[in-house]
Amino acid sequence: MSDDDDLLPALRAAQDGDERGFATVWRALQPAVLRYLRVVVGDAAEDVASETWLQAARDLHRFAGDVPAFRGWLFRIARHRGIDERRRAGRRVEEPAESAGQDGALRARDAAAEAIEGSDTRWALGLIASLPTDQAEAVMLRVVAGLDVATTAKVLGKRSGAVRVATMRGLRKLAAHPQVLARNAPVPGAAPVDPALPEGV
């Protein structure tokens, strides 16, 4: 996550129409936007991210504020585009019905993701996507995108308290997930734990 102060000149330049400034902002925030959307709309994430940036580019002259505010503004756009996409596709149920189906869907998703690229990131995002939508969104915005509680609450149109609860529940559920627990055990062939962390602690 790039430093907000570093990003401010680029943001201002972009608002003045400078494409390099816009590219800098895009590079800094696109990964988080894309991941958030991956959790929300799945495989349509790239397309929806493009729509998000297009709308941001169109409305940039109307935005006033610093980088944290811009983050919130951008994710609000992303969220609305994501909702549009889900409405369009009608592909995703509001909340996974029961834990049995959830696990099944999760396994299928996980297998598919791993078959495609075997990526740790994909695995993690798939797991987060298996949470109830409000929890998944809260975890993504708070923990992965790095928004503060107030901004997250604004993006989601909820109270700060609700955001805190949703985040906490989501994290707890993830921590208790069998696949996450399995990761603690040094199984050969399992995806490696972040190398920065001491092994086996």
Partner 1 sequence: MEGLAGLLDAARASTPGEDLAGERAAVAGFLAARQRAVPTAPPRRKNREARTFAMTVALGFAVLTFGGTALAARTGSLPPAAQERAHALFSGVGVPPPPAPVPATSAPPTTGRAVPSPTPAPSRTATPAPSATAATELCRVWDAAGQDPPGRDVPAEVRRSLAAAAGGVPRIDGFCAALLGEASRSSSAGAPASSGTPPGPGKPAGKPSAPGKPTVTPSHPGKGNGHTKK
Kindly identify the residues of this chain, within the stretch 68-87, that bind partner 1 according to CB under 8 A: none
Q: Which helix (H) or strand (E) holds 153?
A: helix 149-156
Contact criterion met (CB below 8 Å) for 78 and 56: no
Compute the least distance from the CB of residue 5 to partner 1, in Å.
20
* Region at 118 (left for phi over 0; alpha for psi -120 to 50; beta for the rest): left
141 touches partner 1 (CB under 8 A): no
Provide the CA 97 distance to its chain's centre, in angstroms: 22
By CB neighbour count within 10 A (0-12 exposed, 13-18 middle, 19+ buried), where does 3 fall?
exposed
Contact criterion met (CB below 8 Å) for 56 and 77: yes
The torsion angles phi and psi of 164, rounded to 5 degrees, stand at -60, -45
111 touches partner 1 (CB under 8 A): no
Locate 65 and state its tokens: 């504020």
Q: How many chain residues are in contact with partner 1, going by CB under 8 A?
A: 46
Lay out the site mask for partner 1 across 34-53 (x = CB under 8 A, - = otherwise).
xx----------x--xx--x
Query: Which C-beta is closer to partner 1: that of 5 or that of 194?
Result: 194
Compute the least distance from the CB of residue 90 to partner 1, in Å.
25
Query: Which C-beta is closer to partner 1: that of 37 or that of 155?
Result: 37
Q: Which helix (H) or strand (E) holds 89?
A: helix 67-89
Among 30, 102, 133, 160, binds partner 1 (CB under 8 A): 30
107 touches partner 1 (CB under 8 A): no
Q: Residue 199 in 3-state DSSP?
A: coil
Compute the least distance from the CB of residue 43 to partner 1, in Å.
13
Residues that bind partner 1 (CB under 8 A): 1, 14, 17, 19, 22-23, 26-27, 30-31, 34-35, 46, 49-50, 53-54, 57-58, 61, 117, 119-121, 123-125, 127-128, 140, 143-144, 171, 174-175, 180-184, 191, 193-194, 196-197, 201
